Amino acid sequence: MNDREILELILKKVDNIDTRLDSIEKRLDNVEKRLDSVEIRLDNIEKRLQVVENDLSILKNDVEFLKTDSKEINRKMNAVYEQVANLLEFQTEMRMFKKEIFEKTDQIVKTQEVYRDWMSQHEVDIRLLKRVY
């Protein structure tokens, strides 16, 4: 092989290498575009994740508020239960007192009837005595 043939062979190989490099470059460009697309998607996911984290933080605060509010509601409900229990006890006492009042009133009415009868008898006796004297 002469120099010319060797040179042509080398040139062919260089052309072949150049073609392969162009192909590799195109593939790398495609990979770069895909990576850019992936990066954009990751950025979007990161933004959405930040929104989710913010929402989660708000929910966490709301849950804490509800826990505190729930404790306050329970405290107030316990106070209401105590008041209702006291009112029921008072109502029972008032019913007993009412019954006692009615019984005493009945006794007073009966005693007044006895006194009225007794007074009527005395009036009759006094009239009789006045007639005699």
Give the model confidence (pLDDT) of 3-16 as tens digits: 888 889 898 999 99
Q: What is the tens place of the pLDDT at every residue in 87-112?
A: 999 999 999 999 999 999 999 999 99
- What is the spatial distance between Cα 60 and Cα 49, in angstroms, rounded to a whole number? 16
The H or E element containing residue 49 is: helix 3-132
- What is the spatial distance between Cα 86 and Cα 132, in angstroms, rounded to a whole number? 67
Closest CA to 74 of 82, 85, 62: 82
Number of helical H runs and strand E runs in the chain:
1, 0
Q: In the predicted model, what is the mean pLDDT of residues 22-44?
A: 95
Q: What is the tens place of the pLDDT at every residue in 46-87?
A: 999 999 999 999 999 999 988 888 989 999 999 999 999 999
Q: Which residue has the tokens 């008072």?
A: 90
